[in-house]
Structure 1
Amino acid sequence: MVIAIIAILIGLLLPAVQKVREAAARTTCSNNLKQLSLAIHNYAGTNGDKLPPLRITLNAATASTSDSTSTSGQASALTGLLPYVEQDALYRAHMAAGDVTVNKGIVVKTFQCPSDDTYGTGVGPNGWAGSCYAVNSLLLATAGWFNVTNVSQPKYSIGNIPDGTSNTVAIAERKMLTETSVTCSRDMPILWTGQDQYYSASIGEYQTTYPSYWATSNWWYSSQSIQPGVVGTTGVRWGANSAHPATVQLGMADGSVRGVNQSTNILTFWLAVMPADGQVLPADWN
């Protein structure tokens, strides 16, 4: 009898405990996005108002000049934000070596959402560490519907985003591993560092290959669907998504953090991702 009562009590208390844990995890995730959004501002503040590029150059001698090709001498926007999230030593190690593979397996806590259960230890295939967040490629490069150009030179500065910083997504949640299978390249995790993924750690563009090593530099393509979704390890592959119940959190270009839910129209979300559509965000955004 006593055992049965204890079992009932555990059954009643467990959902409440899970809710408390998720609330704490969501707060941590929000704080990460806040730090990353502010890191973009701080980058601009020390670089003449310029936004961080989608692809940064570690070694000009080995870097590719092609928008669609990259080398170990190039890295992603997340790598460029390292000095602004208390990871200056890691950034300097990459720059000094001129090679993004240096310290590729180091897990950066600010790049990790505690609710994302897809990343395990935080280190993906081939020893690359991952990210649960992705930057907006439409903001940090010159973008079209199916491609981006000028990946090393953003079209906008922090002071001239046409739709305004408060109306433009800068960085979003995206589960590190977006599908259950990692047997083909398109299904591999979001890894923060690596020469072939500046566009893996981004949202906003059509992606035909695998998701995101956090520091690699050849992934600007990033959403086969731009729909924000609370999904498992299947579904929307490369759009913004999260492990939080009913919410995807976004870091805006003004440094604020907000959530959108599944009732938000896909067009509304797309307007918030595009920095120069010139339209007022619909009512379901507010």
Structure 2
Amino acid sequence: MSASPIAARSFRSPRPAFTLIELLVVIAIIAVLIALLLPAVQAAREAARRAQCTNNMKQLSLAALNYESTHQTVATGGFTRSGSLPGSKWNFSPFVHMLPFYEQQNVYNMVNFSPGVFTAENVTLAGTSISALQCPSDATVYDLTPVVATQYASLPSGTWMQAKTSYGGVVGCWSLMLHIDNPTFAARKANMNGVIYAHSATRLSEITDGTSNTMLFAEHNHGAFDSAGQAQYHGWNSGFWTDTMIGGYYPINGTLKVLRLSDSAARDYIAFNIGSRHPGGANVGLADGSVRFLKDSTDCWPIDPTTKTAVGVSFNADGQGIQTIAPGTKIGILQALCTRNFGEVISADSY
């Protein structure tokens, strides 16, 4: 006689299932694994972005050398014209002059060199975005912002945009915002000690500190700014000093430690100095065509915390509007790398 179906079912084991505690443990383990994995993924992504930035800098450095081979000088940081003349007082960035040398001949054909950079004839050029001039670690540099209309004498109707760059030509230890209308223009120009600056015409033979120890280009930290600053600074086509010029006055990524974004007088210097969105340093392109990653800890001359100026360096001490270095002043490794003719001896393992 067979057992009843009801009795048979009563002897079966219950269906196995996870308890609430087991589920919570599994979820916790998954969360821990994700937490461990995310930094590794982010680090890998940043490594790829930094490699692309290095490649961009390499292209620019080689383009500068090819430009020098063709024109017998490294591309200028931009010429200026007298304020009494029509057109823009400020002129084009070195990146505009170098366009054919980093495979941008079509963009170069758009340029109208006669009237200057901030003119209606060249406003379309301003909005042309070039990936070779943008570091992928700084997402903000890809954003087009409205042109600063006050820089232009007149603009045709319509919406005009400005593209940005992550890079700039290295003017040396300081910038004097050189302009042809300066009363002491000749003395101020002679006071510049980098390779690329306003009215520069530097030959490789003039880089007496050695091409492997002298910067041509560096990064600036566009993403450090609020939306107003991102609209104001780092236009790729402009030779103005806060757009495509960079100096080594403050430590790498150090301006935000010394200066404040809330200080309107300090913002220009934050825009002008070396910095990046890479953790721990910034890429620089040297005059031998190589690229180095300079750490934030790279030796720099001391900065007075009260005056925010370099110790032993004075501005306009003789009334000529130049910078003067007192005898015995410490010159940091960073300043040595920024200058073309200071005569320092730098070993490769010092930076």
Structure 2 partner of 1:82: 99
Structure 2 partner of 1:201: 244
- Paired residue secondary structure (2:234): coil
CA RMSD of aligned residues (A): 3.4
Contact kept? 2:57, 2:285, Cα under 8 Å: yes
Distance 1:102 1:73, change over 3 A: farther
Structure 2 partner of 1:277: 342
Structure 2 partner of 1:144: 191
Q: Cα deviation per residue 1:152-193 (whole Å; 9 max; x = unaligned)? A: 342x2023311111110000011224433626x9x8221112
Amino acid at match of 2:171: S
Q: CA deviation at 1:4?
A: 3.0
Structure 1 partner of 2:41: 17
1:101 aligns with 2:123: yes
Distance 1:79 1:96, change over 3 A: closer
Distance 1:149 1:30, change over 3 A: closer
- Paired residue secondary structure (1:75): coil
Amino acid at match of 2:204: I
- Paired residue secondary structure (1:182): helix
CA distance in 1, matches of 2:90, 2:39: 48
Tell me the percent identity: 31
Q: CA deviation at 1:96?
A: 7.1
Deviates more, 1:238-247 or 1:14-23: 238-247
CA distance in 2, matches of 1:36, 1:178: 23
Segments of 5+ residues of structure 2 without an aligned counterpart are 1-22, 116-120, 148-160, 179-188, 262-268, 301-331
CA distance in 2, matches of 1:268, 1:130: 29
Contact kept? 2:251, 2:334, Cα under 8 Å: yes
- Paired residue secondary structure (1:137): strand
Contact kept? 1:74, 1:100, Cα under 8 Å: no
CA distance in 1, matches of 2:290, 2:34: 38
**Which has the larger share of helix?**
2
Amino acid at match of 2:232: M
Q: Cα deviation per residue 1:30-74 (whole Å; 9 max; x = unaligned)? A: 000000000100111111x21111115xxxxxx7147xx971783
Contact kept? 1:228, 1:248, Cα under 8 Å: yes
CA distance in 1, matches of 2:224, 2:35: 31
Contact kept? 1:173, 1:241, Cα under 8 Å: yes
Contact kept? 1:178, 1:189, Cα under 8 Å: no
Structure 1 partner of 2:17: none
